[in-house]
Structure 1
Amino acid sequence: MRLSLFGGLLPFKPREAGRDLLAGVTLASMNIPQVLGYTRIAAMPVVTGLYTVLLPLVAFAIFGSSRHLVVAADSATAAIFSSSLSNMAEPGSPEYVGLVAVVALLTAGLLLLARLFKLGFLANFLSRTVLVGFLTGVGFQVGVAMIGDMLGIETPANLTYRKVGELFENARQFELETSGLSLLVVSAILLGRRFAPRFPVALVAVVGMIAASAKLHLEARIAVIGPVPGGLPSIAFPEASFTQILALLPVAASCFVMIIAQSAATARVYAVRHREVVDENADILGLSAANAAAALSGAFVVNGSPTQTAMAESAGARSQITQLAFAAVVALVLMFLTEPLQYLPRCVLASIVFTIAIGMIDAKALRSILAESRGEFYLAIFTAAAVVFIGVEEGILLAIGLSLIRHVKHSYNPHTQVLAPSETGRWAPAPAKPGIETEPGLIVYRFGADLFYANEERFVTEVRALLDHAPTKIRWFVIDAGAVTDLDYSAAASIRSLLEDLSASGVQIAFGRVSSYLRSDMDRHGVTAAVGERWIFPTLHEALAATKKGAEVNIPALG
């Protein structure tokens, strides 16, 4: 494995360093309230949110490649592990914190394996459609989880639909002062997001509420987060039993898939936008190092955040210097400014998280999916519902499964066509339906996917139906194999059997547009020997010319 360090920092451009440093300070002012809020989703001590943007940022800046990707706490991964670990230990307890660190370390290990064995392609199994649905479900789940703190109502249940029930059952606990403060913060952040997106409204809200709470002694009437330990994090290796590691591996695997999918997509978008080259393998290594740093410093799983990366770019960031400046600001906060955090009302933190949850529900993307594909829209909604009613970890596994099923469905039932005479007299592709032919005695057939065990029957059945219902006696059947790049053992056996039957009935099959990859499979599986090497051609025109030599077949220009 070739190791290339500081890819996100080099080449160093002194003229841009000052702008990147200022962008880092701006990013810190906008994101510190958010990372504090993510601890509510993760069910972790508040200070651990600051830990996620300290050593992990430095680790990614050293080992990563992207100049723009911001690695930090993330609501999706936080929801994944918190929903699972809350059944194994009391949220926020030392045991729970230890298990969270083990999940981060296991995630780092899986990312390292992905780098070593180049498994980054696994992210492609999570389609954009189900990713939108998954994040929508997480946003809804997180939003509902925060409403209790925003209204002063206890909702201890883990599942979202049970939390909704508890909101109604415990409605008498409703606190007017807490609710009014929450409404004020949510309104201010949403209005700021709409009219002044670069202004740190959340930071102003946090500082203002801390000052008001300390001055007016609001802790007597409103729940506050309480003492927050100061100082830099201590470094310790997380420990767990073998049984616990086995139980945590599926949780880490779910975080791994989400990290790969989101981080790779985000880094790619900004590399294209700025005409830069990004090394995805280096980024995977950087993410592994970042999660290892999180585990060793008492934080939780970190991810390449699309929202925070967008914030960094809007602040003027053009290299990882911005993230290093962000980490430096966080170090100063940890050393000198944690004491005032104890006065922060819990409802303010919950309100910040609530606005984050709203942002995760991408209504614009859902409308776009609905406009283009109703079936994919239902898939996204089903994924969101699974997250809400079943669970986050189960939801992401289901999302991967649905993505795979959707892919297999397309391969199992691909588009197939026959070249047929059009109104202009040219040959043009038409749906492959029984009763259609290209010319008397000739059918040119196109199969739109690789041939494998799942679709071999579809291929054979359709070829037979086209021959059985052709208007004339078919002598030549040309297969346009331009979309076929792979042929497995099962499909090859079916094709050999088909060739034998058609040869006995006087039909000659020819293959056109055969790639070198397909030809290799045909040779290995005995299809070349069965059809005859002289009936396999690299282009469709050569295949058609060969049929013309064997019989008088008129070949007009292709439409």
Structure 2
Amino acid sequence: MAILNKQYLFHLMPGLANLLKYQRGWFSYDLRAGLSVAAVALPVAIAYAELTGVSPIVGLYACILPMIAYAIFGSSRQLIIGPDAATCAIIAAVVAPLAKGNPHIYLQLVIMMTIMTGIWCLIASKLHLGALADLLSRPILTGLLNGVAITIITGQLSKVVGYESSANQLIERIIELPSDILTTHWPTLATSIVTLLLLLLFKRLTPKLPATLIVMIIMTTLAAFFAERVGIEVTGRFTDKVEDIDIKNFQPGLLRDLLVPSLNLALVSFVSLMLTARSFASKNRYEIDANAEFRALGIANIVSGLSQGFAVSGASSRTAVNDSIGGKTQLVSIIAALCIAFVLFFLTSPLQYIPIPSLGVVLIFATWSLIDFKSIRKLRRRNKEAFMLAVFTVVMVLLVGVIAGIGLAVLVGLMQFLRIIFRPTESLLGADADGRIHTLSRSGVVEPIKDTIIYRFNSPLTYFNVAYFKRRILHLVENENTENQDSVKWVVVDAVSALTHPDVSVIASLKELKQELADENISILLAGRKTELTKWLRIEEKKNSDWLLFPDLYLAVRYIQSIEQSTENEINRKDEGEVNEPSTLDRAIENSNVNLQLDQDDEITHPSINEDSNNIPKEV
């Protein structure tokens, strides 16, 4: 029982399991990586708090306990969790209209949305919905990140340049930009320019040092002496004490307004986390558990909310720092969290002089890496539908906001998927001179088999596309008979790609198709999944003796040509006056000398290829 409890504990806490197997030689790597991650995370967390619309101290809260929680519950050894541009932009977009300018209610909503996001993640983990990582396809996520990046950059222009802007949406900001520029505060703009130049300089000259931290220390020191004199806005004094939140005065009705946005935030955060975690796990040759990651993300967000932080996700930039320094385990997150906690409790006084223009530049600098139009252009050459989906996502995020944009992009993505399922591609197969089965080609290298249509439907058959499948086969038979004077005698269906589950409507339509073809003296053969089809048809019909089922296309074609050859031999014997002996299928196959093979390039691979034909050679 103790062993089972220990295994269950390690299943819930894969990070703890790794830490208990810690090797002494890893500590130096983890210590350096932890210090480096903390150096990068500190200024970024304060900047993202500004983006979210809360006090800078909340950004630090969002780093400490969530990082420790993920170190225990997460399965990735490199991933660093923390504030993220996309999650912060989503929170601000949702909470600002609901708070109506009340900062107390604003913080309440941020905390409640963060906790609800964590609860959604825990529910998804319990239901084993790790596959939801694939719901936001790469085109949608690429478009989302580009749209969020443009939104953040335009939103920070007023802080960087120093003008007052009343516009909240992108279009309004762009319209008002010419008039707003005229009110530029030149000391603020000068501070922003110096910050940007220092960032570029340190990035180039000392790429291994935390450029953002160094620059923020320099600008904070300068601001402490000159900001008040020239009117540069700073973060102001804040305390390391947790602000009292009066839950009794919270309006429960607002939870309804947060229900769907928190679900969207959970999905976006998880997908972003999984993309980062998978890429670094692949690089370092280990596997991660998607459901464990969902659980770890949920716990991290709940912990963040309870400690008055905001929603967190996988931080790709900080994870890259960890990996580049050579961090070995989740201890990196714990060391980084302790460093940030030290700053929170002992060094908060200097943080009041951080210049707001410098934070804006840091946000723009960090967000600039999210802009990736090159990937969208590549999609145009590789997949036009994916390209259109990515562009649509960018446009919708910019025009209607992050939450609505995500919803519309997912809806369009699902519609594209359904269109593929409703009207999938199809293939007609034939044989080349060597007897290999390929898709028919216009060059004539691959020709159709005499009197036979071999048909592949490139989608699982369901109740909403089986009627189309049936119409397509009947149309192909009609066209072939019209062109070649009733030549079709056999229709072979590749069951591997089409018949994946026992849909009642599909079985009924297959029976109708078989009868309609039989009325035209045409036989239908199902190739692949013989065991499953036998079971499904037996359940539907109680018997299936009149169905022609074969383990694969190879044996189906052998059967057809054996029957044709047997029939021809019997006709020849009749013409020669020989005694007509009954012909059996076994004798037909035994006398067959057909040389048909499956070509791997055509991906005709069947899981059941040997289930009923272990003793039949694949080459005759």
> Shared topology, TM-score over 0.5?
yes
Native 8 Å contact 1:45 1:92 kept in 2? no
Q: 1:190 to 1:387 in 2, by over 3 A?
A: farther
1:388 corresponds to which letter in structure 2? L
- What does 1:453-532 correspond to in 2, within 5 Å? 453-470=463-480, 471=484, 472-484=486-498, 485-514=500-529, 516=531, 520-526=535-541, 532=545
Tell me how far apart the structure 1 counterparts of residues 243 and 531 of structure 2 sit (CA, whole Å). Answer: 58
The separation in 2 between residues aligned to 1:440 and 1:547, in whole angstroms, is: 10
Q: How does 1:128-527 map to 2 (within 5 A)?
A: 128-190=138-200, 192-193=202-203, 196-218=206-228, 220-231=230-241, 233=242, 240-422=250-432, 426-430=436-440, 438-470=448-480, 471=484, 472-484=486-498, 485-514=500-529, 516=531, 520-526=535-541
Secondary structure of the structure 2 residue equivalent to 1:87:
helix
Cα displacement (A) at 1:426: 4.9
Deviations 1:124-160 (A, max 9, x none): 1110111101100000101100011111122232211
Question: 1:176 Cα deviation (Å)?
Answer: 1.8
Judged with a 3 Å threshold, the aligned counterparts in structure 2 of structure 1 residues 192 and 538 are, in CA distance, closer, same or farther, namely farther
Judge conservation of contact 2:440–2:448 (CA < 8 Å) in 1: no
CA contact (8 A) 1:101 1:300 kept: yes
Shift of 1:414: 2.5
Rg (Cα) greater in structure? 2
Q: Aligned-pair RMSD on alpha carbons? A: 2.5
437-446 vs 345-354, which moves further: 437-446
**Mapped contact 1:416–1:431 kept (Cα < 8 A):** no
Relative to structure 1, the CA distance from residue 513 to residue 349 in structure 2 (aligned partners, 3 Å threshold; closer, same or farther) is same
What amino acid is aligned across from residue 511 of structure 1 in structure 2? L
Q: SS where residue 439 of structure 2 aligns? A: strand
In the alignment, does 2:553 pair up with 1:540?
yes
SS at match of 2:19: coil
- The equivalent of 1:557 in structure 2 is 596
Q: Which runs of 5+ in 1 are unaligned?
A: none
Q: CA deviation at 1:427?
A: 4.1
Separation (CA, whole Å) in 2 of partners of 1:170 and 1:511? 70
Q: Greater shift after overlay, 245-254 or 185-194?
A: 185-194
Structure-1 separation of matches of 2:461 and 2:411 = 22
Q: Is the 8 A contact 2:114 2:262 kept in 1?
A: yes
Change (3 A) 1:257 1:337: same
Q: Deviations over 1:408-454 (max 9, x none)?
A: 2332332311123447775421279xxx9722211111111100133
* Conservation of the 8 A alpha-carbon contact between 2:35 and 2:339: yes
- Determine if contact 1:235/1:296 at 8 Å carries over to the other structure: no
Kept in 1, the 8 Å contact 2:47–2:362? The answer is yes
Aligned-residue sequence identity (percent) comes to 27
TM-score for both structures, normalised by structure 2? 0.84
Q: Is the 8 A contact 2:441 2:447 kept in 1?
A: no
Asked if the contact 1:452–1:487 (Cα under 8 Å) also holds between the matched residues in 2, the reply is no
Deviation at residue 236 of structure 1 after TM alignment: 7.1
- The alignment of Structure 1 onto Structure 2 pairs a total of residues equal to 553
TM-score relative to the length of structure 1: 0.92
Higher relative contact order (Cα pairs below 8 Å, separated by 6+ residues): 1
Alpha-carbon distance, 1:555 to partner: 5.0
Q: 1:409 to 1:10 in 2, by over 3 A?
A: farther
| CA deviation map 1:278-301 (0-9, x unaligned) | 232222221111111111011100
Query: In the superposition, relative to structure 1, how do residues 426 and 290 fare at CA in structure 2: closer, same or farther (>3 Å)?
Result: closer
Moved more, 122-131 or 484-493: 484-493
**Bigger mean CA offset, 414-423 vs 547-556:** 547-556
Structure-2 change in CA distance of 1:398 and 1:182 (3 Å): same
Per-residue deviation, residues 482-515 of structure 1 (Å, max 9, x unmatched):
2132353333333222222111111110100126
Which one-letter code corresponds to 1:139 in the other structure?
A
